[in-house]
A = this chain, B = another copy of it.
Amino acid sequence: MSNHSNQAILLVHCLDKKGLIQVITKFLSDHNGNIVDLDEHVEKSAEVFFFRVQWEMEGFDLDRNEIHSAFEKEVASKHDMTWQIHFADQKLRMAIFVSKSSHCLYDILSRYYSGEWNIEIPLIVSNHQLHKQIGDRYNIPFHYFEVNGMNKSEVELNQLKLLKEHKVDFIILARYMQILSSDFIAEFRNRIINIHHSFLPAFAGAKPYHRAYERGVKVIGATSHYVTEDLDDGPIIEQDVVKISHKDSVDTLIRKGKDLEKIVLSRAIWAHIQRKTLVYRNKTIVFD
């Protein structure tokens, strides 16, 4: 389905009980909404209900600024729901943070320019000058921040200021090799997506390909997750692997891993911009 059409998306979670789907779908049909996509999940162990519904705004008898109060009053408040609403035609604004590896940056920009994603990319942030030319090549402002042992918090404050100026909705760490502070993360809770070059929880932290080589594994992987205060331990959005053999050196693992990282990160970005992800505790529901 087109991702920039005139449609609304509602994401809900609350304690599970009877009739929840019915009350939400009743709300939509009472207001003459035509559902184009609906998915639900009940986490049995936690007895939590997760729900995503997408419907056409054309013909819907509430306009965009009426939906909030109406849904809160008629449904959410009665069932103690946590919820959010989005409109498919609102372009999300994405910032890219990158260090020295450029393969994910190139892949993201290629998808952006070929029109694969309905987003805006107002800026690239880096702790290295290295890829300024890539930003220039694509006419995207490239902001270099020199990071050293002393100035980390100051740099983050400047970065946050810049992100606010550019109205950034979410951040992609496209192989960004700096650890973000809790304060920074708190400003973009569940809106910072990282790509880690291993199948987590294996090989969290530094040099995963070297450690994979040392261990003699027969598959390598990549993991895309929302960033939390715990390094490489945030809610996982997407993972995939590729088979390797004894013939692979660290160099070939890195080469093969790059393709994996690009694909896994791009799938996670796609799920996020489709508003198909819901974070609960340290897990991610990814409606498909």
Q: Is A166 interfacial (CB 8 A cutoff)?
A: no
Contacts of A199 in B (CB 8 A): 199, 202, 217, 219, 221, 241
How many A residues touch B, CB cutoff 8 Å? Answer: 72
Contacts of A155 in B (CB 8 A): none
**Majority-rule SS of A interface residues:** mixed
- Binary flags per residue of A161-203, CB closer than 8 Å to B gives 1, else 0: 0000000000000000000000000000000000000011111
- Binary flags per residue of A235-267, CB closer than 8 Å to B gives 1, else 0: 111111101011101010001001100010010
Instruction: Name the contact of A1 in the complex, choosing from B36, B200, B249 (C-beta under 8 A).
Output: B249
Contacts of A251 in B (CB 8 A): 1-2
- Binary flags per residue of A26-41, CB closer than 8 Å to B gives 1, else 0: 1011001111111111
Contacts of A18 in B (CB 8 A): 29, 32-35
A33's nearest neighbour on chain B, judged by CB, is B18
Instruction: Name the contact of A25 in the complex, choosing from B2, B22, B114, B137 (C-beta under 8 A).
Output: B22
**A44, A203, A216, A239: most-surrounded residue (chain B CB, <10 A):** A216
B247 in contact with A288 (CB, 8 Å)? yes
Instruction: Tell me how many chains of this kind the complex includes.
Output: 4
A55 to B215, CA, bound (A): 28
Chain B nearest CB from A114 CB (Å) reads 5
Instruction: Name the contact of A110 in the complex, choosing from B25, B39, B103 (C-beta under 8 A).
Output: B103
A103 to B262, CA, bound (A): 13
Contacts of A116 in B (CB 8 A): 103, 255, 258
Contacts of A201 in B (CB 8 A): 202-203, 215, 217
Contacts of A33 in B (CB 8 A): 18
A283 to B286, CA, bound (A): 26
A279's nearest neighbour on chain B, judged by CB, is B216
A1-58 residues at the B interface, CB under 8 angstroms: 1-2, 18-19, 21-22, 25-26, 28-29, 32-45, 50
A248 to B285, CA, bound (A): 11
A11 to B199, CA, bound (A): 33
Q: Is A107 interfacial (CB 8 A cutoff)?
A: yes
A21 in contact with B32 (CB, 8 Å)? no
A203 to B202, CA, bound (A): 8
B102 in contact with A106 (CB, 8 Å)? no
Contacts of A137 in B (CB 8 A): 137-138
A245 in contact with B288 (CB, 8 Å)? yes
3 cross-chain pairs, A with B, having the tightest CB-CB distances, nearest first: A216-B283, A106-B110, A202-B202
27 contacts between A and B (CB under 8 A): A1-B249, A1-B251, A18-B32, A18-B35, A21-B21, A21-B35, A22-B28, A25-B25, A36-B42, A37-B42, A41-B246, A43-B246, A106-B113, A110-B110, A137-B137, A199-B217, A200-B215, A202-B202, A215-B236, A216-B284, A217-B236, A218-B238, A221-B241, A239-B243, A240-B243, A245-B286, A246-B284
